[in-house]
Amino acid sequence: MSLRLYDTATRGQREFLPVRSGAASIYVCGATVQGMPHIGHVRSGLNYDVMRRWLTRGGLDVTLVRNVTDIDDKILNKAAEAGRPWWEWAATHERAFEAAYDALGCLPPSITPRATGHVPQMIELMHRLIDGGHAYANGGDVYFAVRTFDGYGALSGQRLDDVQQGESDCVYKNDPRDFTMWKAARPGEPSWQTPWGPGRPGWHLECSAMCATYLGAEFDIHGGGVDLVFPHHENERAQSRAAGDEFARYWTHNAWVTLGGDKMSKSLGNTLSIDVLLHRVRGAELRYYLVAPHYRSMIEYSDAALSEAVAAYRRIESFLHRVRERIGEPRLVPDGPLRPDFVAAMDDDLGTPGAVAAIHGAVREGNAALDAGDRDTAAAAAEAVRAMADVLGLDPLGEHWRAGGDGGSDTAGAALSALVDDLLAQRAEARARKDFAAADAIRSRLLAAGVLVEDNRDGATWTLKDG
């Protein structure tokens, strides 16, 4: 493997050299389970699922930790507004996130730790920092003293004099730039006992404790959305390194999904929930839409762009179904060779746009071979398509999508797809023998049933008519 990753800390690509030979360790900041997931939330999970698959394809034993923040001001406030226990509110939305990840074909993480399950580790980390002069307790809170860590700001590029933590003003801070590690108990809120009084964890402390628990003092990759670079990841890095841990060797960050030019967020009211979208498109199609762009590029959501992604995915799907109908099931060879242009794209900072282009190139070659009656070339192209699509979690014939893992469309959507693809295969055969009357009749039957057929150089694709 010759993977190069863009490292946020160094502002450039670096060759990926893992801490431990033959293995890779990844920590991804997961959901703060305050509400239902939208596509902006799950993009990170999808991007790191692709990273994990590519590292595994390169022969590495990958440990992926994706945490859950299940205690937070927003969770407490929203649960209180709804008149529900905070723990029940968090658990309900945690299940919704897990269902969304599964509907979009994410492999389960090695572990999904919850913040509330790691308070002893957080207390131990605070002890180390207070004993080392990097943190202090005051008024029942515990704060990290930013000025005691010389490397503060190196990850995000923040100048120390300009640092604003985004926390409310507090009389207990020695310096307004310090950040909160532990919050003193408030009436009616959950709390845990510590040597400094009862309270609950701060956001940054949680992740440092969980990283060390599952990946050790030094690990390979820390990831998350670009909005986490500051203050969250900067503060994680500071407290862990001040405590003596080497922490992450590489920092990677995915860009946002925007709507109307703004980051998709509940506070702005511009979100698109996974449930809503999975009633319009299948899980594999939504996954294609979110992983085909480069993970560091912004995605500006539009219905037109989603429709284009659906059509592109169906070109891949239709080709494989044509091969299955004419030649037989194309094999998926787990360790078989991948096309050089696909490998080059993925090794270049997980360049999924180039990887997807390589897949479509193989689809075009395969369709041309099918039309020319060249069964061997078509079969080889189909195997190549399956191998490449599998790396991206997009193999239409893979177990997840074949087993009804298509989100809101489930088995009914899979059945519809199979029926339409069968008719399109019959139509392609009619066109190949120049029986255009039969081909037109099939197209008319599909149109009458609400299925639009479009012919292009990759073969025929279909979409459902609106309304």
- In which order are the strands placed within the sheet that holds 218-225? 61-66, 23-28, 218-225, 247-254
Domain that holds residue 418: 274-464
For residue 83, being part of any structural domain is answered with: yes
Residues 78 and 210 in one domain: yes
- For residues 384 and 447, membership in a common domain is answered with yes
| The domain boundary residue, chosen from 254, 289, 310 | 254
Could you tell me if residue 215 is inside a domain? yes
Residue 316, helix vs strand vs coil: helix
194 shares its domain with 293: no
In three-state secondary structure terms, 390 is: helix
**b/e per residue 369-387 (b: at least 16 CB within 10 A):** bbeeeeeeebbbbbbbbbb
Rounded distance between C-alpha atoms, residue 50 and residue 146, angstroms: 35
Q: What's the sign of the alpha-carbon dihedral 184, 144, 248, 32?
A: positive
CATH of the domain at 43: 3.40.50.620
The H or E element containing residue 320 is helix 303-326
Q: Do 178 and 322 belong together in one domain?
A: no
- Is 379 among the domain residues? yes
462: β partners: 453
User: In the chain, how many domains are there?
Assistant: 2
Is residue 263 in some structural domain?
no
Q: Are residues 141 and 217 in the same domain?
A: yes
On whether both 391 and 428 belong to a single domain, the answer is yes
Instruction: Check whether residue 410 and residue 310 sit in a common domain.
Output: yes
Give the end of a domain, one of 219, 254, 289.
Answer: 254
Select from 6, 20, 14, 11 the least CA-distant residue to 217.
20
**Same structural domain, 100 and 156:** yes
Per-residue pLDDT of the chain (467 residues; tens, 9 = 90+): 799 999 999 999 999 999 999 999 999 999 999 999 999 999 999 999 999 999 999 999 999 999 999 999 999 999 999 999 999 999 999 999 999 999 999 999 999 999 999 999 999 999 999 999 999 999 999 999 999 999 999 999 999 999 999 887 788 999 999 999 999 999 999 999 999 999 999 999 999 999 999 999 999 999 999 999 999 999 999 999 999 999 999 999 999 999 887 776 666 565 688 998 999 999 999 999 999 999 999 999 999 999 999 999 999 999 999 999 999 999 998 888 899 999 999 999 999 999 999 999 999 999 999 999 999 999 999 999 999 999 999 999 999 998 655 543 444 555 676 678 778 878 888 888 899 998 889 888 888 887 888 887 667 777 665 44
97 lies in a domain?
yes
* Strand 23-28 with 61-66, pairing: parallel
In a domain, 265, yes or no: no
Q: Contact, 368 vs 362, CB < 8 A? A: no
Q: Which residues contact 184 (CB under 8 A, 6 or more apart)?
A: 139, 140, 141, 197, 198, 199
The answer to the question of residue 105 being in a domain is yes
Asked if residue 224 belongs to a domain, the reply is yes
By the 10 Å C-beta count (0-12 exposed, 13-18 middle, 19+ buried), 340 is classed as exposed
Q: Spell out the residues 6+ positions from residue 59 whose beta carbon is closer than 8 angstroms to its own.
A: 1, 22
Question: Is 280 found in the same domain as 250?
Answer: no
Q: Are residues 203 and 284 in the same domain?
A: no
- Same domain for 278 and 165: no
**Pair 171, 224 in one domain:** yes
Cα distance between the two ends of the chain: 48
